[in-house]
Amino acid sequence: MRILSYNVNGIRAAQQKGLYDWLRQTRYDVVCLQETKAQPEQIDEATLRDMGYHCHWHSAEKKGYSGVGILSLLPPDRVIVGCGMPQYDREGRVLRADFGDLSVISAYFPSGSSGDERQQFKMQFLADLRPWLDDLLRQRPQLLLSGDFNICHRPIDIHDPVGNKNSSGFLPEERAWLDALYTNAMTDTFRYFYPDRADQYSWWSFRSGARARNKGWRIDYHAASQALVPRLRHAEILPQIQHSDHCPISVELG
């Protein structure tokens, strides 16, 4: 099973840049989308269905904001919209699909870059998400958490760790949350295959030609539960694909 995660920074804008054509060519089994920035009725779902995709969405109440989706060539056995916490579900941040014993989550973690209030919201999201994840792992041991976490884990994951030491997305408390997740519960699938590969990023600022100079951040992840690790076959970052300020990331399961 080939699974893709992609923050498209607006699915309608990404479609105009060739997203759907690329999906038609690559035909990933499951596609987790983040930051769709659209209500379901605003999405060209007919074209996706013509490709063979079953489409599921969790949009934010606020129009043009946040939102996640899951596309799959096989119909899911079950789809769970949201995480049961209204403050986050209003923002369309979590969507789960079950395929047999495998559960795949498309998640869009809050950003704290706009100021203290949103940083506090982000930290509360992280605090609330962990026990929710732990409980879900007990119910669904084969779990893949895919999406934009808005956190760089280690200095190797960001182009300028010194200059960004006080930046949201690379704060010690955010990185400590990922430390705990990857130590106790889940595995960073890209680092599982490439523990020391540097200059591998999934997001670049639109400013100052950051992408052309590869001045980026790795903030998008496929996190696999420990029960899922034996099924890992390959992981990849695809920086050459440019429909967004992010790039897609993929993982292959046996």
Residues annotated as part of the active site: 148
What is the per-residue DSSP string for 235-253? EEE-TT--SSSB--EEEEE
Strand, coil or helix: what is 64?
A: coil
**Buried b / exposed e along 107-128 (16+ C-beta atoms within 10 A):** bbbbbbeeeeeebebbbebbee
Q: Which two tokens stand for residue 130?
A: 């962990």
What is the DSSP-derived secondary structure letter of residue 115?
-
Half-sphere exposure of 112 (CA within 13 A, CB side): 21
Strand, coil or helix: what is 27?
A: coil
| Angstrom distances, CA of residue 96 to CA of 60, 64, 72, 114 | 15, 21, 12, 28
Q: Which two tokens stand for residue 210?
A: 């950051």
The neighbouring-strand residues paired with 216 are 204
